[in-house]
A and B are shown apart, each in its own frame.
Chain A
Amino acid sequence: MILTIAHETVYRYDLPMRGVVQTHRLTPAKCESQSALSWDVTVTANEGARVVPGGGFRDGAGDWVQGCTIIGPATEVVVSVTGQVETRDMAGVLRGHRERIPPEAYLRPTPATVSDVAIHELAQTARAGLDAPLEHAHALARAVQAAVVYTAGVTEAHTTAAETLALGEGVCQDHAHVLIAAARCLDMPARYVSGYLQASEEGSPHEASHAWVEIWVQGLGWVGFDASNGVCTDDRYVRLGSGRDAREAAPIRGIARGPGSEHLDVTVAVELVQQ
């Protein structure tokens, strides 16, 4: 299908900031399941502030990373992304994606994805009686979906996998963290993927700015699992970047220098152009 994406992130500062440094993973991955027909990332700032594009490079995970700096006094920074992407359903399998980081490197936990006894138990229970790694991955995704009810507003950006599972509620970021931690319990490399999801008609919970998990399945490679929606990724998904957790895979990471505090507004619209 062809999807149109409009994604705007607005940073507002209550006091002028002296400078802002950002790193963007806002470019659709190059792989067989998707190709960008047009894509545009624009950064603007308030009058008096100056936007200076930074260096860009393709990182070891195959994502395009673009640096960006804003010279203050900055009170407002707007990052807008617009474009069209043609997608194909590859049943979740990531093909044709050039990357260098070996899967084993994703077996090291981050603070957000450390597993605890409960996550271990969830993983072992899910796997019981199953042989094939792919079945294990599916079982894990199902188990996480069952254990963590989709609820907005109960968790925060820093909620860890263990906290989420104990709480039993969370959003896509939390599902992803639990699934990554659980997969690692079975020695399966797993990573966090950020991107977009086209709204479906069934009314299943989702957000347009979305996150899911890729699990390394021996013989198949990386396979995308969306535990929030209980599916493998398909042609409704647009993949941006990946990392070991939400922080590493964030489409925008930034630090502002100055006395003010930050207020963030994100709007995302993903629309189907044609089937």
Chain B
Amino acid sequence: MGVVVRGGAWRFATPRKSVTDSEGSRGDAVVKRADFFNEMFEQGAVRWPYKGLQGWMGEMPDEFRSLKQAEAEELFRRIGITFAVYGEGGDPERLMPFDMFPRVFAQDEWRRLERGVIQRAKALNAFLADVYARGEIVRAGLVPRDLVYRNEAYEAAVVGFTPPRGVFSHIVGVDLVRTGPDEFFVLEDNCRTPSGVSYMLENREIMMRLFPGLFRENRIAPVDGYSEELRRTLASVAPRKCERDPKIVILTPGAYNSAYYEHSFLANLMGVELVEGQDLFVEGEFVWMRTTEGPRRVDVIYRRIDDAFIDPLCFRPDSMLGVPGLMDVYRSGGVTLASAPGAGVADDKAIYCFVPDMVRFYLGEEPILQNVPTWQCARADDLKYVLENLGELVVKEVHGSGGYGMLVGPKSTREQVENFRKRIEENPGNYIAQPTLALSTCPTFVGEGVAPRHVDLRPYCLVGDRVTLVPGGLTRVAMTEGSLVVNSSQGGGVKDTWVLSE
């Protein structure tokens, strides 16, 4: 996810703000002089959710801070929270940069976000249940047929199947950015297997160890109920043929996967087995796990493997990661897969534009969270606007990912803009455009002081017999001044995210 923002003067900097951070933009960030919403300081005053941090920040001598930072890193290493980067030489196990300055939400701010995320998760699931059944939203003409049915992520193998409780996406990660006190935008939805929740949990653990005083002085809602809630959610979607306390497992691609730590972390917290495809097999109407005491039946599989790899008999025949025959058992009600294969059609970039319509169509409510305004070049009016304002917009390919095939208007040369203009004119349907957003900033420890850095937020919504959200999420922060790219692969870090309980 590349986030692009209009840049601006810092409203806040410590007197000793380092000048080591170059102003030069990195990644696809755009930095022009403009205003950002600073989540801690507003017109020179401290916003109240951050009041409890003012003194803490002021009373932290550099030496103490370095000490704490070193302690944090030591903890991360000892616990083993790393993500693996292969092919770059050196030790593939990297630490995620952790910033000790928390990001804080007031209770009322959070309530609204919570309602918005839950509403969105419900609508996305209703959409999935619909497009794999009668397709009412398509018949109603609200979402174009081709966008759904010709979508790469639309999975014919689940058409006509209703998973337990009608839930397709059991863990919905919603990526949000903030642009003002009451302005939140959804950047994208993640309906397949959103990752990063282990950081949310570990960041909190580490902050509590480093600064127990902060947690006594501020009433911070706990997040450690997540693993139990996840277990409960998965148990609530046990398959039709399960007549007992459901056996849950997490299915990982293996120890070489970059998120393997998270897989084993969650398995450990939930007290369930972490399995690979080779540990499971299909026999008769069920899926079984190979154990030292013989086969054990498995009822719910929280899979962290892509659709294409879960069953070589049904999908990619060359997959070594999956379980042959799994889809037959799934469809005949012998096992639940979380998320359901084909759930990805709901978090597609082109489908994203229609999520507010889904909220209205399925829930009869007005969407609480806004989408980033998006112009679809397939529409004549939109195309006209986009071409007229190309220099101010971010243009993306509908099916592109990873920042490829993307134009960042304010950051591009005239020539690049003109070249891209030609590409859009040749195939308008392949492009969407969005304005450059002014992402909020949060104070962050940098160099020798504290300075504002851009942040986003990913809360994790659980969908089973009920829909819940733990009060918190993963705040990602662009550690480089001016940068709006929060991805860990590009120097992004993480913060603990607080929701004040009063």
Could you say which of B47-55, B79-87, B327-335 contacts chain A?
Answer: B327-335
Contact in complex: A54, B157 (CB < 8 Å) = no
A contact residues, total (Cβ < 8 Å): 33
CB distance from A197 to the nearest CB of B (A): 26
Contact of A60 among B156, B329, B333 (CB under 8 A): B156
- CB-nearest residue of chain B to A60: B159
Could you say which of B103-111, B215-223, B280-288, B349-357 contacts chain A?
Answer: B280-288
Contact in complex: B312, A67 (CB < 8 Å) = no
Contact of B282 among A67, A100, A101 (CB under 8 A): A67
Confirm or deny: A55 has a beta carbon within 8 angstroms of a beta carbon on chain B: yes
Contact of B149 among A65, A66, A105, A244 (CB under 8 A): A105
Contact with B along A51-70 (1 / 0, CB 8 A): 01111111111000111010
Bound CA span A104–B282, Å: 32
Could you say which of A138-146, A159-167, A247-255 contacts chain B?
Answer: A247-255
Confirm or deny: A19 has a beta carbon within 8 angstroms of a beta carbon on chain B: yes
Contact in complex: A247, B317 (CB < 8 Å) = yes
Contact with A along B259-284 (1 / 0, CB 8 A): 00000000000000000000001111
Interface residues of A in 38-59 (CB under 8 A from B): 52-59
Bound CA span A54–B159, Å: 20
CB distance from A25 to the nearest CB of B (A): 11
Q: Chain B binding site: helix, strand, loop or mixed by DSSP?
A: loop
Q: Report A-chain residues with C-beta under 8 Å of the C-beta of B256.
A: none
Contact in complex: B284, A52 (CB < 8 Å) = yes
Bound CA span A60–B135, Å: 13
Contact in complex: B332, A100 (CB < 8 Å) = no
Confirm or deny: A129 has a beta carbon within 8 angstroms of a beta carbon on chain B: no
Interface residues of B in 267-313 (CB under 8 A from A): 281-285, 312-313
Q: Report B-chain residues with C-beta under 8 Å of the C-beta of A60.
A: 132, 156-161
Confirm or deny: A21 has a beta carbon within 8 angstroms of a beta carbon on chain B: yes
CB distance from A112 to the nearest CB of B (A): 11
Confirm or deny: A102 has a beta carbon within 8 angstroms of a beta carbon on chain B: yes
Confirm or deny: A107 has a beta carbon within 8 angstroms of a beta carbon on chain B: yes
Instruction: Answer whether A67 and B160 are a contact pair too, CB < 8 Å, given A52-B283, A52-B284.
Output: no
Q: Report A-chain residues with C-beta under 8 Å of the C-beta of B210.
A: none
Bound CA span A69–B332, Å: 14
Contact in complex: B150, A67 (CB < 8 Å) = no
Contact in complex: B283, A58 (CB < 8 Å) = no
Interface residues of A in 92-123 (CB under 8 A from B): 99-102, 104-105, 107-108
Contact of A69 among B138, B150, B325, B331 (CB under 8 A): B325
Contact in complex: A54, B133 (CB < 8 Å) = no
Q: Report A-chain residues with C-beta under 8 Å of the C-beta of B135.
A: 102
Confirm or deny: B152 has a beta carbon within 8 angstroms of a beta carbon on chain A: yes
Contact in complex: B284, A61 (CB < 8 Å) = no
Confirm or deny: B146 has a beta carbon within 8 angstroms of a beta carbon on chain A: yes
Contact in complex: B331, A57 (CB < 8 Å) = yes
Contact of A54 among B132, B138, B154, B332 (CB under 8 A): B332
Q: Report B-chain residues with C-beta under 8 Å of the C-beta of A101.
A: 156, 159-160
Confirm or deny: A149 has a beta carbon within 8 angstroms of a beta carbon on chain B: no
Contact in complex: A255, B331 (CB < 8 Å) = no
Contact in complex: B324, A100 (CB < 8 Å) = no
Interface residues of B in 119-178 (CB under 8 A from A): 132-133, 135, 138, 145-146, 149-150, 152, 154, 156-161
Bound CA span A254–B325, Å: 9
Confirm or deny: B368 has a beta carbon within 8 angstroms of a beta carbon on chain A: no
Confirm or deny: A186 has a beta carbon within 8 angstroms of a beta carbon on chain B: no
Q: Chain A binding site: helix, strand, loop or mixed by DSSP?
A: strand
B contact residues, total (Cβ < 8 Å): 33
Contact in complex: B133, A100 (CB < 8 Å) = yes
Confirm or deny: B314 has a beta carbon within 8 angstroms of a beta carbon on chain A: yes
Contact in complex: A104, B149 (CB < 8 Å) = yes
Contact in complex: A65, B328 (CB < 8 Å) = yes
- CB-nearest residue of chain A to B135: A102
- CB-nearest residue of chain A to B328: A67
Bound CA span A108–B151, Å: 8
Contact in complex: B313, A71 (CB < 8 Å) = no
- CB-nearest residue of chain B to A104: B149
Q: Report A-chain residues with C-beta under 8 Å of the C-beta of B160.
A: 58-60, 99-101
Contact in complex: B332, A102 (CB < 8 Å) = no
Q: Report A-chain residues with C-beta under 8 Å of the C-beta of B317.
A: 247
- CB-nearest residue of chain B to A254: B313
- CB-nearest residue of chain B to A69: B283
Contact in complex: B329, A54 (CB < 8 Å) = yes
- CB-nearest residue of chain B to A106: B156
- CB-nearest residue of chain B to A244: B156
Contact in complex: B324, A255 (CB < 8 Å) = yes
Bound CA span A99–B134, Å: 11
Contact in complex: A59, B146 (CB < 8 Å) = no
Bound CA span A60–B331, Å: 10
CB distance from A97 to the nearest CB of B (A): 13
CB distance from B429 to the nearest CB of A (A): 14
CB distance from B407 to the nearest CB of A (A): 27
Interface residues of A in 132-174 (CB under 8 A from B): none
Contact in complex: B159, A53 (CB < 8 Å) = no
Q: Report B-chain residues with C-beta under 8 Å of the C-beta of A104.
A: 145-146, 149-150
Contact in complex: B325, A67 (CB < 8 Å) = yes
Confirm or deny: A23 has a beta carbon within 8 angstroms of a beta carbon on chain B: yes
CB distance from A29 to the nearest CB of B (A): 15
Q: Report B-chain residues with C-beta under 8 Å of the C-beta of A53.
A: 284-285
Q: Report A-chain residues with C-beta under 8 Å of the C-beta of B132.
A: 60, 100
Q: Report B-chain residues with C-beta under 8 Å of the C-beta of A257.
A: 281, 324
Q: Report B-chain residues with C-beta under 8 Å of the C-beta of A21.
A: 281-282, 313, 324-325
Contact in complex: A54, B325 (CB < 8 Å) = yes
Q: Report A-chain residues with C-beta under 8 Å of the C-beta of B331.
A: 55, 57, 59, 65
Contact in complex: A67, B332 (CB < 8 Å) = yes
Contact of B329 among A55, A59, A71 (CB under 8 A): A55
Q: Report A-chain residues with C-beta under 8 Å of the C-beta of B156.
A: 60-61, 101, 105, 244
CB distance from A132 to the nearest CB of B (A): 22
Contact in complex: B314, A23 (CB < 8 Å) = yes
Contact in complex: B149, A59 (CB < 8 Å) = no
Bound CA span A33–B332, Å: 27
A-B contact pairs, 21 of them (CB 8 A): A19-B283, A23-B313, A52-B283, A52-B284, A54-B328, A55-B285, A55-B333, A55-B334, A56-B332, A57-B331, A57-B333, A59-B157, A60-B157, A61-B159, A65-B331, A69-B283, A71-B283, A99-B160, A100-B159, A104-B146, A108-B150
Which residues on A are within 8 Å of B, measured CB to CB? 19, 21-23, 52-61, 65-67, 69, 71, 99-102, 104-105, 107-108, 244, 247, 253-255, 257
Taking A54-B284, A66-B328 as given, write out 20 further A-B residue pairs in contact, using a Cβ cutoff of 8 Å, ordered by the A residue number: A21-B324, A54-B285, A55-B284, A55-B328, A55-B332, A55-B333, A57-B333, A59-B331, A60-B156, A60-B158, A60-B161, A67-B285, A67-B329, A100-B159, A102-B145, A104-B146, A105-B156, A105-B159, A253-B313, A255-B312
Which residues on B are within 8 Å of A, measured CB to CB? 132-133, 135, 138, 145-146, 149-150, 152, 154, 156-161, 281-285, 312-314, 317, 324-325, 328-329, 331-334
